[in-house]
Chains A and B, each alone.
Chain A
Amino acid sequence: MSNPVQRVMKILVTIVVGVFLLVLPRFIGGYFLHLITMIFFFAYLGTAWNILGGYAGQFSFGHAAFFGIGAFTSTLLQIHLGVNPWIGMFLGGIVGLLLGLFIGSLSFRYGLRGPYFALAMLALAEMLRLLAVEWMAVKYPLGITIPLRGDSLLYFQFTKKVPYYYIMFIMMAAVLYLTRVIEERRMGSYFKAIRENENAADALGINVFKYKLIAMAISAFLTATGGTFYAQYYLTIEEESSFGTSMSIEVLLGPIIGGAGTVLGPLVGAAILEILSEGTRNLLKGYSGVHLMVYGAILIVVIIFLPKGILGGLQATFRRLAKAL
Chain B
Amino acid sequence: MVILEAQGLTKNFGGLKAVNDLSFELTGGEILGIIGPNGAGKTTLFNLITGFYHPSAGTVFFKGENITGLRPYQICKRGLARTFQITQPFANLTVLENVKIGAYSQIPSNREATREALQILETVGLYEKRNELASALPIGHRKNLELAKALATRPEVILLDEVVAGLNSKEADGMIAHIHRIREEGITILLIEHVMKAIMSLSSRIIVIHYGRKIAQGIPEEVSKNTKVIEAYLGEEYTLVKNRRA
From residue A15, how far is it (CB to closest CB) to chain B in Å?
Answer: 24
Q: How large is the interface on A (under 10, 10 to 19, 20 to 34, 35 or more residues)?
A: 20 to 34
Cα-based distance from A192 to B93 in the complex (angstroms): 8
For A184, list chain B residues within 8 Å (CB).
110
Docked-complex contact A204 and B149, CB < 8 angstroms: yes
- Give Cα A203 to B91, complex, Å: 16
B82 at interface, CB cutoff 8 A: yes
A191 → chain B, closest Cβ, in Å? Answer: 10
Choose among A196, A205, A322, A323 the residue with the greatest number of B CB atoms under 10 Å from its CB: A205
The answer on a CB contact under 8 Å between A200 and B100 is no
**A134 on the interface (CB 8 Å rule)?**
no
Q: Write out the residue numbers on chain B whose beta carbons fall within 8 Å of the beta carbon of A203.
A: 50, 52, 72-73, 76, 81-82, 84, 88, 150
Contact with B along A163-191 (1 / 0, CB 8 A): 00000000000000000000011100110
Q: Are B97 and A189 in contact (CB under 8 A)?
A: yes
Q: A1-B114, A193-B101 are in contact. Are A204 and B153 (CB under 8 A)?
A: yes
Minimum CB–CB distance from B152 to chain A (whole Å) comes to 8
Q: Is residue A151 contacting chain B, with contact meaning CB distance below 8 A?
A: no
Q: Does A199 sit at the interface, judged by CB under 8 A?
A: yes
Partner of B105, one of A200, A204, A323: A204
- Say yes or no: B77 contacts A205, CB within 8 Å: yes
Interface: B61 (CB within 8 A): no
Complex A-B: 30 CB contacts under 8 Å: A186-B104, A186-B110, A190-B101, A192-B90, A192-B97, A197-B89, A197-B90, A197-B91, A199-B72, A199-B84, A199-B88, A200-B89, A200-B90, A200-B149, A202-B52, A202-B71, A203-B73, A203-B76, A203-B82, A203-B84, A204-B73, A204-B81, A204-B149, A204-B150, A205-B73, A205-B77, A205-B104, A205-B153, A207-B73, A208-B73
Interchain pairs with CB closer than 8 A, number: 83
B92 interfacial by beta-carbon distance below 8 Å? yes
Chain B: residues with Cβ within 8 Å of the partner, total of 34
Asked if B133 lies at the interface with its beta carbon under 8 angstroms from chain A, I say yes
B138 at the interface (CB under 8 A from A): no
> Which residues of chain B are near A185, meaning CB under 8 Å?
110
Q: Taking the complex as formed, is A319 at the interface, i.e. its CB lies under 8 A from any CB of chain B?
A: yes
| Residue A77 is within 8 A (CB to CB) of chain B in the complex | no
Contacts of B150 on A, CB cut-off 8 Å?
Answer: 203-204
Question: In the complex, which residue of chain B has the Cβ closest to the Cβ of A208?
Answer: B73
Q: How far is the CB of B132 from chain A (nearest CB, A)?
A: 8
Q: Which residues of B contact A302 (CB under 8 A)?
A: none
Alpha-carbon distance between A200 and B50 when the two chains are bound, in angstroms: 12
Asked if A35 CB lies within 8 Å of chain B CBs, one says no
Chain A residues with a Cβ under 8 A of chain B: 1, 184-186, 189-190, 192-193, 196-197, 199-208, 319, 322-323
Partner of A206, one of B88, B100, B101, B152: B101
A-facing residues in B138-185 (Cβ within 8 Å): 149-150, 152-153
Residues of A within 8 A of B76 (CB): 202-205
| A319-B101 contact given A203-B84, A204-B76, CB 8 Å threshold | no
Give the residues in chain A near B106, CB-CB below 8 Å.
205
Across the two chains, which residue of chain B brings its CB closest to A312?
Answer: B92
Cα separation A189 to B92 with both chains bound (whole Å): 12
**Which residues from chain A contact B102 at a C-beta distance below 8 Å?**
204-205
A206 CA / B97 CA spacing, docked (Å): 14
A126 to B82, CA, bound (A): 43
B14 located at the interface, meaning its Cβ lies under 8 Å from any Cβ of chain A in the complex: no
A197/B72 in contact, CB under 8 A: no
In chain B between 48 and 90, which residues have their CB closer than 8 angstroms to a CB of chain A? 50, 52, 71-73, 76-77, 81-82, 84, 88-90
A204 to B52 alpha-carbon distance, docked (Å): 12
B15 CB within 8 Å of chain A? no
Residues of A within 8 Å of B73, CB to CB, are: 201-208
Chain B residues near A189: list those with CB within 8 A.
97, 100-101, 104
Known: A192-B90, A208-B73. A200 touches B84 (CB 8 A): yes
| A192 CA to B133 CA, complexed, in Å | 13
A-B complex: 6 closest residue pairs judged by Cβ atoms: A205-B105, A196-B90, A200-B88, A205-B76, A202-B72, A186-B104
A138 to chain B minimum Cβ distance, whole angstroms, is: 47
Q: In the docked arrangement, what's the CA distance between A206 and B104, Å? A: 9
Nearest A residue (CB) for B108? A186
The 8 A CB mask of B96-119 against A (1 = contact, 0 = none) is 010011101110101001100000
Output the nearest chain A residue to B78 by Cβ-Cβ distance.
Answer: A205
